[in-house]
Each structure stands twice: as C-alpha cells, then as structure tokens.
Structure 1
Amino acid sequence: MRILMTGAAGKVGTMLRPRLAREGRILRLSDLAPLETGENEELVVADLADPAAMAEAMKGVDAVIHLGGQSREHPWPDIVRANMDGTYVLMEAARQEGVQQVVLVGSHHAAGFHTRPADGTELPDYAFPRPDTLYGVSKVVMEALGSLYHDRFGLNVTVVRLGTCNEGSADTRGLATWISPDDLTRLLEAALTAPGYHVVWGVSDNARRWWSLEEAKAIGYVSQDDSESQAPALIAEFGEPDLSEPEHDRAGGMFSIRELGQAW
C-alpha cells in the first residue's frame, strides 16, 4: 500500500512518519521543503497548488493523508493559494488517479467560535462551521471540498478537526484539546479504512475533553491517552484554568480574539 502524505516536513508529519510505518506500506512524502527519507519512504517535492506536480505525486497512490498547506494565519492570498487551491488540486488529482481513500487533516479553528455547551454536554462532531480566522475559513473550505468529492465522485473522505498535537500539552488549555501523536496515528489508521464522509474531532479521550468523540469512535478510533497525567505540573505552573475565559471556553481559544488576527 502506498500512502501520499502531504506536508510531510511539518511538525505533525515529522511526528507521524515513524508511527505510520508498517511492513508492506510505502509512505510517499510530499512537501516544498526537502527532507531525508527513511526505509519504505519516497520523496516528491511538489507545490500543492501545481496541478501537474500533484498529478505526478498521486501516481500509484492508494490513499492520501493531507497535512500540507499554510499552517498559521496569513494574508488572504497566501491562505487561498496554499489551503484552498491546494486542497482542490489535491482532491482533483486523487479523483483522476482513482484514489478512493482521503484523510484531510483540518483544524478546530474551522469551528473556533463555538463555546462550551452550557448544559455540560459535548460539542457535537458536526458542529456547524464557525471559523475564528482566515486560516479557519480555509479549513471550512477543506471540509466542503471533502463533502463534494464524496457525494459527487464517491471518494471516502474523513476530515479531522485537529486539536493540539504535541508530545505533551504545553499549557492548561491543552488538558482539554490535546491529542497525543500516538492517538492521532490511531485516528488516521481508522480514517484510512472508513467508508463514506466523516468530520471528526482530533482529540485524545482526555478527562477534561469537551469535544465529542462519537463520530471518531464510529469509524473505529480508540483513544489510549489522556492528558490528565500532565495536569499537576501544568496547574502548578499556570494555575487552575478559568473555564469562562476565551482560551478555555471557545473551541479556537485565543485565536477567537480579533486582535490576534492578521490581515483583517
């Protein structure tokens, strides 16, 4: 099996590569940045928005994990080219090559203005898009493209509204939003075989989690990690989180505060 991973040189791609390695599996790594390949890895240096380059990168591929694009808030033209045009070109290349399984790694910033449900329930899997940034808007477009290519062309597409993926949480917000690299790998493995179209929250089953995992569980994801073991040290450093503050009350955290945006 050959899996195309875009954005392979980025932080998340770097964490995932050794975890996704399997006997009989080839990871075809795509990025604008050069990187060293390991055993059962191939490298394709390609611009996501270049149709010819992506068509070449897609040749002989069985599945796609799409991590590539602009990962931070940037001026609108940059966001459009890297994230919107890039995702469209990727999906079209997958369709033309006959690839049936696509995992689009989106972001919780597609729904960043949602707040904790007042009744203590979880934020639903398909919470209506409420982007908190131009970057978040591009992830809404990603979700829409995934839906279109499933409904019109029959591709199996899972969109992951990714939370905070690091080896460990850097702050108390992450006690709710963190997903371990191991859990993200488990989620992607489930998505690589899931039929249909799905939007799932990319989060570990943390004790302080408030984003639903029902849809992720429905496609076969079983979280094995929980941020709570990190809580004592983080609370000692930062204090107990005030859940009424935007950092903890809004899905997008501090990115939902306008003053932090760029190019408005």
Structure 2
Amino acid sequence: MADQRVLITGSAGIVGTLMRPRLRRPGRVLRLLDLAAQPAAEDGEAAEIVTGSVTDPAVMAGACAGADALIHLGGHSRENSWEATLDVNINGTHTVLEAARQAGVKRVILASSNHAVGFRRNADAGEAGLPADSSPRPDTYYGVSKAAIESLGSLYHSRFGMDVIVVRIGSCFETPLPLGPRGLITWLSPDDGARLFEACLSAPSPGYRLIWGVSDNTRRIYSLAEAEALGYKSLDNAEAYAGQLADKPGPTGAAAEFVGGPFCTAPLGEFNPI
C-alpha cells in the first residue's frame, strides 16, 4: 500500500513547527512547504522539504502533485497591511486551493482563526459554547482574510466536491502562558492540535465543516461538539497553568468583551505580535 502524503503549507511557522513531529506516522510522508529554511529530514523521518510561496502557482502545483491531503497553515498569522494580507492570505489561499483541485487532492484542512468572529461577544457563547459555524464578525484585516478563507473552502467543496474542514484556531503554543490569562480560554495544546488534525484527516466524507480548534479548557467559550463529531477528543486543559498566571492582570474593556480580545482595539493594518 502506498504511503499517505500530507502536504503542510507554512510548515516552518509556529503551528507547523509544533505539528511536524506530532504528525509523523508510519506509512505517512510529510511534504513541508515554507519560504523559510527548514531542518532536513531526520533519520527515520519521512519528510520532503519544499521551499516556496503559497502565492506561486507553479510552486503550489508541484507541491500538490501526488498529495493525498493538504493542511494549509501558510500565510501571515498576525495583522498586517491590507495589501500583504490580500496577497498572501486571500490570493495565496485561492492559489493553494486551485492547485489542490487541479492535482486531485480530496481532503483539505484550512487554518482559520477566532479572529474571523472576533467581534462576537463572549457573553453570547451560552452553556454549549459559541457554535463553530457562527457567521463572521472579523476584528482586523487578518480576521477578514480568515473569513475569506472559510468562504473559499466552502466554494471549493460545493463546486468541486473536495472535503474541506476549516479549523478556527484559538491559540496554539507550547503553553497558554504567552497570551496571559486570555490563553486560559483560547489555548489549543500542541498534542490536542495533532489529535484534531488527525481527526480531520481520517473522518470519513466530512464534506464542508467549520470547527473550533481549542482544548477542553475549563474557561473555554467555544463549542467542541463540531470537532468531536469528527472524532476529536481533547486531553489537555489550560487550567493546569492558571497558577502561573494568577498575578497577571486579565483583559479589560473590549478585550474582555469580545472573542478577538486585544485584536479588537489594535490598529488596523499594522503588524502586531499579540
């Protein structure tokens, strides 16, 4: 039986770097695409390194050739100028999806963000959590680009029959500590991230789905029902780090009121590291 080949764009980014060792499996080849330099395959690691941009049709055509599935993480992961956001996040995702379509890739997983719905109120979540298919209320140009990515995924499913799963990621770091108290709400642990992507890769005939990418945190405001329907089971909880954040001030004002937190008041079009 031939190996499963999974193409990961943006594989040198934060999430891609965390997923690379966690998505290794016997019988699976990871094809890792990024503009940035990446470590060569380790002994025993089935990995193919591709250097190039998601905005380059020729690069993407070559990267998609022979791929069984695609995890699209590539793009600007924070607020940036409208021109850069449009070029890389929106046009780049169209380039990726078109290359995948032409190559016959049947399963596509798109990384979206909580910032696609950043201006939804935390208080609207209810006991079951904010539904994963809540309509967009972006908080930034970055959030707009994620809403556009979601729509492109829907279009490519409906038009071409691709299975497309869109993951609205909260925040995926080794720990929730970089985001302070807000991380106790939004954290997706790296191990849970791998569990989630494995569920997305293996779920039979999912069609088009929107799901939240978060751990089962005590303070989460996001529904996990949609991800669990695909087979995801979170085993981690950001609350384990709460003691280390006890002396850190929590968000206030709009950052406390809205899902997007501090993105809701950050300047539009200016890169920020939050």
Q: Please state if 1:31 is matched with 2:34.
A: yes
1:225, 1:62 → 2: CA distance? Answer: 29
- Aligned partner letter, 2:88: A
Secondary structure of 2:122's aligned partner: coil
Q: For 1:22-171, what aligned pairs fall within 5 Å after superposition?
A: 22-38=25-41, 39-118=45-124, 120-121=126-127, 122-170=129-177, 171=180
Task: Spell out, residue by residue over 1:65-111, the C-alpha distance to the aligned partner (whole angstroms, 9 max, x if none).
Answer: 00001111111111011011110011011111111000001111101
Q: Deviation at 1:55?
A: 0.2
1:62, 1:250 → 2: CA distance? Answer: 38
Task: Spell out, residue by residue over 1:106-162, the C-alpha distance to the aligned partner (whole angstroms, 9 max, x if none).
Answer: 111101001123584321111110000001101011000100011110000100110
Do 1:111 and 1:251's aligned partners in 2 also have CA atoms closer than 8 Å? Answer: yes
Q: Percent identity?
A: 51
Do 1:117 and 1:123's aligned partners in 2 also have CA atoms closer than 8 Å? Answer: no
- 1:238 — aligned with what? 248
2:124, 2:58 → 1: CA distance? Answer: 49
- 2:20 — aligned with what? 17
Q: Deviation at 1:230?
A: 0.8
Q: Deviation at 1:49?
A: 1.1
Unaligned stretches of 5+ residues in structure 1: none
Do 1:6 and 1:65's aligned partners in 2 also have CA atoms closer than 8 Å? Answer: yes
Do 1:173 and 1:247's aligned partners in 2 also have CA atoms closer than 8 Å? Answer: no
Secondary structure of 1:143's aligned partner: helix
Residues 81 and 100 (structure 1), Cα distance of their counterparts in 2 relative to 1, 3 Å cut? same
- Aligned partner letter, 2:236: D
Task: Kindly report the root-mean-square deviation, in angstroms, between the aligned alpha carbons of the 2 structures.
Answer: 1.5
- Aligned partner letter, 1:27: L
1:246, 1:252 → 2: CA distance? Answer: 9
Unaligned stretches of 5+ residues in structure 2: none
| Count of aligned residue pairs for this structure pair | 260
1:119, 1:92 → 2: CA distance? Answer: 35
Residues 206 and 42 (structure 1), Cα distance of their counterparts in 2 relative to 1, 3 Å cut? same
TM (norm. structure 2) is: 0.91
Which residue of 183, 186, 197 corresponds with 1:177? Answer: 186
TM (norm. structure 1) is: 0.94
1:222, 1:148 → 2: CA distance? Answer: 28
